[in-house]
Amino acid sequence: AGPVESKNKAAMSEVVPEPRQKPVIPMKPTGINASLLGYIGIDTIIEQMRKKTMKTGFDFNIMVVGQSGLGKSTLVNTLFKSQVSRKSSGWNREEKIPKTVEIKAIGHVIEEGGVKMKLTVIDTPGFGDQINNENCWEPIEKYINEQYEKFLKEEVNIARKKRIPDTRVHCCLYFISPTGHSLRPLDLEFMKHLSKVVNIIPIIAKADTMTLEEKTEFKQRVRKELEVNGIEFYPQKEFDEDLEDKTENDKIRQESMPFAVVGSDKEYQVNGKRVLGRKTPWGIIEVENLNHCEFALLRDFVIRTHLQDLKEVTHNIHYETYRAKRLNGNGGLPPMTVETEENHESNL
């Protein structure tokens, strides 16, 4: 009987599960001594990416919107220190004011320090210049969506290009007239409609027409009006990826936006230095001097710190929203029709 009992006990002990031990939390690695293990070369990944990107170059498409006479072309030329936008000092006798909003895209390749950038400046002459400006943003919205459509059609092709040409608008500089009062209904309507499809950066043009107090007050009023009307401008709060981005962008949103700028492509001698500026009877307004205007802040923001992010938000947010909407409703993309299917079957 003894051996049978011990056998049963052994069987029971097999059935009863052992108490589960808590998983051992691995300790954080305490730094690996590279000199002992030898050099791997992970740090060259950044260099590999840099070389590859340098070969292909960059695309950047910037749109300027605002009434004529606000210095849109001059400002873009000042931004890139090159004649990249049309230059028209007033209308010629032969040249008529456009009756509707036109879209003019001018492409350039600019190079600095071995980095090539294919820059496209999209101008919108005729915007806000009519007596009745109702729905004058529609051609602009249509153009922006057409670029998304073009990219989408290339993307859904069976044999698609290795590198799809990117004509999507990455950034829209919206020029606010320096009235010192409040935003016009046209400004609010444009930004309300377009902020959903493109990155809008509002800027106060020709800021040298206001005193420093007027400028500060006008900036605060514009910010308040945008907030009250629920208009999101770039950088949008919900797209901040981490705390560092949020802190940096909050500062820009609360202090800098909208940038009060002055543009000029003329150089003057100031204290023995050549500076870009505008000559007035009481002195020279230096474009790149932060005490005079916020042009340097705008350029740093658009080119030196946020250019890549502007492109990423365009691709990951605005384009993806458009793409999802189009593909959900069949996307208007030609589906495989019955005729195509029949042809396909007959070929088999």
The CA distance from 154 to 134, in Å, is 34
In a domain, 154, yes or no: yes
- What percent of the chain is helix, strand and coil (3-state, nearest 5)? 45, 15, 40
Please check whether residue 284 lies inside any domain of the structure. no
Which segments of 266-335 are extended strands (E)? Answer: 267-270, 273-280, 283-286
pTM of the model: 0.78
Residue 105 lies in domain: 56-85+98-263+291-330
Residue 38, in any domain of the structure: no
Show pLDDT as tens, one digit a residue, over the chain (348 residues): 555 555 555 555 455 555 655 555 555 555 555 554 677 788 889 989 888 888 888 899 999 998 888 888 888 888 888 878 765 444 454 555 565 678 888 888 888 888 888 999 998 887 877 777 778 888 999 999 999 999 999 988 888 888 888 999 999 999 999 887 888 888 999 999 999 999 999 999 988 888 889 999 999 999 999 999 999 899 888 887 778 888 888 888 888 889 999 888 788 888 888 888 888 888 888 888 888 888 889 999 999 989 999 999 999 999 999 999 998 876 455 544 444 444 444 444
Rounded distance between C-alpha atoms, residue 331 and residue 234, angstroms: 27
Residue 118 and residue 57 in contact, taking contact as beta carbons nearer than 8 Å: yes
In a domain, 92, yes or no: no
Asked whether residue 6 is domain-assigned, the answer is no
197: domain CATH number is 3.40.50.300
Residue 33 lies in a domain: no
Q: How many domains does the chain have?
A: 1
